[in-house]
């Protein structure tokens, strides 16, 4: 599957599907409305667009569409992170880390945890 560009609401819908594995449009609308209001018809429209992109599939049970994800959430996360780093930090991970260190409070424990991740990856 090629990289799929997803908008904010599309990502939220995908998050619901990744968590639930399968859901109806009504179930998705209900979950989304817990965070911000969205019209059920808009959810249905976005689901059709996601299906056309190849991001989701569906089965029909008792005349109800049951949607499920076709793309992996880690792949979408990594694409979003890569896009963010390229757009905001000219593709430099070290510039991102530098910005985080200089503008965010990072505890010594957090830094140790990060270093352990690098050591683990290095092995």
| Averaged pLDDT for residues 109-123 | 85
**Per-residue pLDDT tens for 15-68?**
999 999 999 999 999 999 999 999 999 999 999 999 999 999 999 999 999 999
Task: Report pLDDT for 1.
Answer: 46
pTM across the whole model: 0.76
Alpha helices in 21-107, H assignment, sequence order: 25-33, 40-53, 73-89, 93-103
**The pLDDT of residue 111:** 82
Q: pLDDT (tens digit, 9 = 90+) per residue, 91-101?
A: 998 898 888 88
Other beta carbons less than 10 A from residue 97's beta carbon:
13
pLDDT confidence of residue 103: 78
């Amino acid at each position: 599957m090629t990289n799929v560009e997803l908008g904010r609401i599309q990502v939220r819908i995908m998050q619901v599907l990744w968590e639930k594995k399968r859901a109806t449009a009504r179930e998705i609308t209900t979950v989304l409305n817990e965070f911000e209001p969205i019209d059920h018809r808009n959810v249905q429209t976005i689901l059709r667009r996601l299906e056309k992109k190849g991001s989701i599939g569906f089965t029909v049970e008792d005349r109800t569409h049951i949607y499920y994800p076709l793309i992996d959430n880690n792949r979408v996360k990594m694409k979003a992170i890569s896009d963010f780093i390229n757009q905001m930090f000219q593709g430099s991970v070290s510039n991102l880390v530098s910005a985080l260190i200089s503008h965010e409070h990072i505890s010594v424990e957090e830094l140790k945890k990060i270093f352990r991740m690098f050591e683990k990856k290095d092995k």
